[in-house]
Amino acid sequence: MNLATYSLRSRFLSALEGITDGILTLTTPEGTRHRFGTSGPEADLQIRDWRMLPRLVLRGDVGLGEGWIAGDWHSETLEATLSLALRNVSLRAGWGDPGRFHAMRMRLVDRLVRLNSLRGSRRNIRAHYDVGNEFYQQWLDPGMTYSSALFEEGDDLSRAQARKNGRILSRLASGESLLEIGCGWGGFAEAAAERGHEVTAITLSHSQKGYADARLDGRAEIRLQDYRELTGRYDNIVSIEMIEAVGERYWPTYFATLKARLAPGGRVVLQAITVPDAEFSVYRGRSDFIRQHVFPGGMLPCSAIIAHEASKAGLRVRDTHAFGLDYARTCRIWCETMMQRRSRILRLGFDVTFLRGWQFYLEGYAAAFATARCDVVQVTLAHEDEVG
């Protein structure tokens, strides 16, 4: 071990001494075991190569994820380990943020290279969703719904996804025409069509469109189209976890589109992953593992930003419902199912590195929702002059 690595090791072990919420069992590459913390949920961290620490220093939590994918470290309790890190400020201070050069470089990639222009959005969306329907079929519910479910006692994932769709449908205004912006594989479009709505649904993913077309079989119109290319008006608009792919620069355009496409007396229902209002200014000024490796061009709003951008466009929030713990549960089920079907996924041609990246993403999100670092909300909007 060279002097620089030894110094980083000493700093890292000192930071772990500050754990106040939870118990961490650490195993070093040399086989030494340490135990930090005195009470709370237990987690384990197995460092297999000390190069994990330079990754952390240079690239923050992006480096943490990259180290996991590379096998520099492992944990049998990944979600618990990431939750422990999120709950303990001492672990984030000095380790969670990248160095200045790398931070600037990642922000430039997010904001320029992966800009959500008409062309860029197609490229960004397809990078995530066109990895193959066969992969997603291994771990999503049979309805192929890739957004948070809404659980009640006794629900399995399929029932909870149907409950989510049912709640959205219950918030809509009267009228038959319904536009869905970002339809995925057609699960909500199918539920809406079964309720008698005339559904127009759009996606930028060729894989999703092909699947949704076959699924709906003429019961809804599925278009390969950008939201900025829409025309006409609709009695209701639904957009489920699509705003995260819009990008901050285009939020005004997105909400202006909702306003322009919504008929008088209509309703918009958004389901959105959010960060806390108080943390948004810090979040927007940096990058993270999700934006670098999972959703290129992505950006989470906060509830205050949704209300602000809606108001600027002439829309007003009628009601909102938050259910972040349900998303933690959804992510756990997805990840457990994916790992149970690991051998099948490998036979499809994906490798271990690919799977480790998806495991880190899903368990990391579960940790973020469980510790309230993220939330998910359903927001109902109406024309501003129609809200009493």
Per-residue pLDDT of the chain (388 residues; tens, 9 = 90+): 566 677 888 888 988 999 999 999 999 999 999 999 999 999 999 999 999 998 888 778 888 999 999 999 999 999 999 999 999 977 766 655 555 645 565 555 555 545 565 665 656 565 566 678 999 999 999 999 999 999 999 999 999 999 999 999 999 999 999 999 999 999 999 999 999 999 999 999 999 999 999 999 999 999 999 999 999 999 999 999 999 999 999 999 999 999 999 999 999 999 999 999 999 998 887 877 887 777 777 889 999 999 999 999 999 999 999 999 999 999 999 999 999 999 999 999 999 999 999 999 999 999 999 999 999 999 999 999 886 5
CA atoms within 13 A on the CB side of 296: 19
d(CA 277, CA 252): 18
Sequence ranges of the domains in the chain: 3-98, 118-383
Nearest C-alpha neighbor of 161 from the set 151, 169, 171: 151
Question: Within the chain, where are the H helices?
Answer: 3-16, 52-70, 78-87, 89-92, 100-108, 118-129, 133-137, 157-170, 187-194, 206-216, 251-261, 280-284, 289, 303-313, 324-340, 342-347, 352-370
Looking at residue 177, what is its pLDDT? 98
Nearest C-alpha neighbor of 13 from the set 52, 59, 68, 39: 52
Backbone angles phi, psi at 246, to 5 degrees: -75, -45
d(CA 44, CA 295): 28
Looking at residue 62, what is its pLDDT? 86
* Burial class of residue 361 (count of CB atoms within 10 Å of its CB; 0-12, 13-18, 19+): buried
Looking at residue 94, what is its pLDDT? 60
Looking at residue 124, what is its pLDDT? 55
Looking at residue 115, what is its pLDDT? 53
Looking at residue 102, what is its pLDDT? 54
Looking at residue 58, what is its pLDDT? 79
Query: What's this model's pTM, rounded to 2 decimal places?
Result: 0.91
Q: Which DSSP category does 102 fall into?
A: H
Looking at residue 350, what is its pLDDT? 93
What is the CATH superfamily name and number for domain 118-383? Vaccinia Virus protein VP39 (3.40.50.150)
